Amino acid sequence: NPVSAISGKAYPFGLKNVDTDVIIPAAWLKTISRSGLGKGAFEALRKEPGNLFDSAEYAGSPILIAGDNFGCGSSREHAAWALADMGIQAVIAPSFSDIFSGNAFKNGLLTVVLPQAHLQAAMARVHERFCLEVAPVAEVVAGRARLCSDTAAWADWWACMRPSTTSRSLAC
């Protein structure tokens, strides 16, 4: 199904070279069911006290902001399933593994490639309690931000996006 807009809080993750083993550990690969995989997403990171993924502040965030080379490593489709099961609908990063972006596309997870400067701006907005919106419209993806407590005042912060010709991700 085409994506109209994804908006809400975002996990300001930002970690580089996150492989699919980190996204969903091998112990969770014994199932062919997508249901419940969100509990195993980022399992090792969730063991750390005060981790981002179990923080009430970001609970239910539909957007994940990641670092370079997100989804590298093995080609497990379970990684896209786990992210979707935890409620993530879009991942924003400077780059993605080709296999991960293909798996994400097949499973309805939007991947958006942003230059580092735009990514840093998005991270800063999220830390300031801004919600984000990613809206692919007519071959352009616009990003907007607003204070999560303000339901009306969106402000554009990027609009340089277009579909990548080399992958299934949207890219500047």
Residue 132 clears pLDDT 90, i.e. is over it: no
pLDDT digits (tens, 9 = 90+) for 62-117: 999 999 999 998 888 999 999 999 999 999 999 999 999 999 989 989 888 888 88
Residue 144: band (very low, low, confident or very high) from pLDDT cuts 50, 70, 90:
low
Q: Kindly give the pairing relationship between strand 110-113 and strand 170-171.
A: parallel
Residue 139 clears pLDDT 60, i.e. is over it: no
User: In this structure, what token pair is assigned to residue 135?
Assistant: 């809206």
pTM here is 0.85
How far apart (Å, rounded) are the C-alpha atoms in residues 17 and 30? 24
